[in-house]
Structure 1
Amino acid sequence: MALKSTVFKANLQIADMDRGLYADHALTIARHPSENDERMMIRLLAFALSVPADNLRGDLEFTAGLSDPDAPDLWQKDLTGDLVQWIEVGQPDDRRLIKASSRAEVVKLWAFSSAVPVWWQGIENKLTRLTNLEVWQVPTDQSKELALLAERSMQLQVTVQEGQIWVGNKDRSVAVEPKPLMTQRPKR
């Protein structure tokens, strides 16, 4: 018998002063049996830092993720079905990122764990021509701290100001300083 996903509920209050975005989101997150709290919380962080200010070009949504090998962790599709954002969490191979880059306007990757530098060194040169790819590394100690915020029912606040990110609940707050490994470059 297959294990079922665990359902988490998150009320997410976002105050992103850098983007002028102030919003509340009631989210339902299905955590795959093979996913841990750390990865799930990175998905939540990716949502908070990528959600658009309006839904004129579609909503940012959690997908089947680990349950569907052809889907990212999050995506934003416009009303015609075209992919606006493709967001991955973890350490996918270069072929997956290249394929995503050809399908979506923007591809974002949120990598975490102590193995990121070795993984990145192995694929970085294969991705240099991708102008619509952003790769961010969340330091291991910070991603582990984020995991401690995970609860079946969460009330979280995400505050972004001058590049500083804080994620917290009523009991604790975690400062997150993602390191850019690759940023989008203008197309030539």
Structure 2
Amino acid sequence: MALKSTIFKAQLQIADMDRSVYADHALTLARHPSENDERLMMRVLAFALAVPADDLRGRLEFTAGLSDTEVPDLWQKDLTGQLVQWIEVGQPDDRRLAKACSRAERVTLFAYGSSTPIWWQALAPKVARLDRLTVWQVPAEASKALAGLAQRSMQLQVTVQDGQIWVGDGQETVDFEPRRLMPA
């Protein structure tokens, strides 16, 4: 019998001064049996850093993710069904990113993990021509610390100012500055 996803709920308060986005979001996330807390929290972080200020061009939504290899971790579709944003977390290959860039107006990747520099060194030349792609590297220490905030029911505050990010749950805070890998 197949294992079922575990449901997580998060009350997310966002104060992104860099983008002038201030909002509260109630999120329900399904954690795939093969997904760990670090990847789950990277999806929450990706949502917080990419959610638009309004829903005029559609809502940013979590997808089936690991359960469906044909979709990203998050996406935003407009009312006509056109993909506005395709958002990935992790270290996908160049073919997946090229496919995403051919389908969406904007593709954003949040890479994390200690192997990111080695992965990026091999991938960068292959994706250099993808002008719709933005790649961010979250420091490995930060993604591991974010995993420590994961709970089945969470209340998180995300603050962004001058490129610095703070994520807290009222007891612990993780602060870091992601590094933009592309465009340089």
Superposition TM-score tier, normalisation by shorter sequence: over 0.9
CA distance in 2, matches of 1:161, 1:15: 9
Post-superposition shift, 1:121?
1.1
Aligned to 2:120: 120
Aligned to 2:162: 162
Number of aligned residue pairs = 184
CA distance in 1, matches of 2:183, 2:11: 29
Aligned to 1:20: 20
CA distance in 2, matches of 1:112, 1:60: 21
CA distance in 2, matches of 1:102, 1:77: 15
Q: Which amino acid aligns with 1:92?
A: P
Post-superposition shift, 1:149?
0.4
Q: Which amino acid aligns with 2:18?
A: D
Aligned to 2:41: 41
Post-superposition shift, 1:117?
1.0
Post-superposition Cα deviations, 1:34-76, rounded to whole Å, max 9, x if no partner, equal: 0000011011000000000000000000000000000100000
Aligned to 1:93: 93
Gaps of at least 5 residues in structure 1 are none
> What is the TM-score of this pair, normalised by structure 1?
0.96
Post-superposition shift, 1:118?
1.1
CA distance in 2, matches of 1:61, 1:42: 14
SS of the residue corresponding to residue 38 of structure 2 reads helix
Post-superposition shift, 1:182?
0.5
Provide runs of 4+ in structure 1 moved above 6 Å. none
Q: Percent identity?
A: 72
CA distance in 2, matches of 1:182, 1:29: 28
Post-superposition shift, 1:163?
1.1
Aligned to 2:71: 71
CA-atom RMSD, angstroms? 0.8
CA distance in 2, matches of 1:23, 1:154: 16
Question: Greater shift after overlay, 60-69 or 14-23?
Answer: 14-23
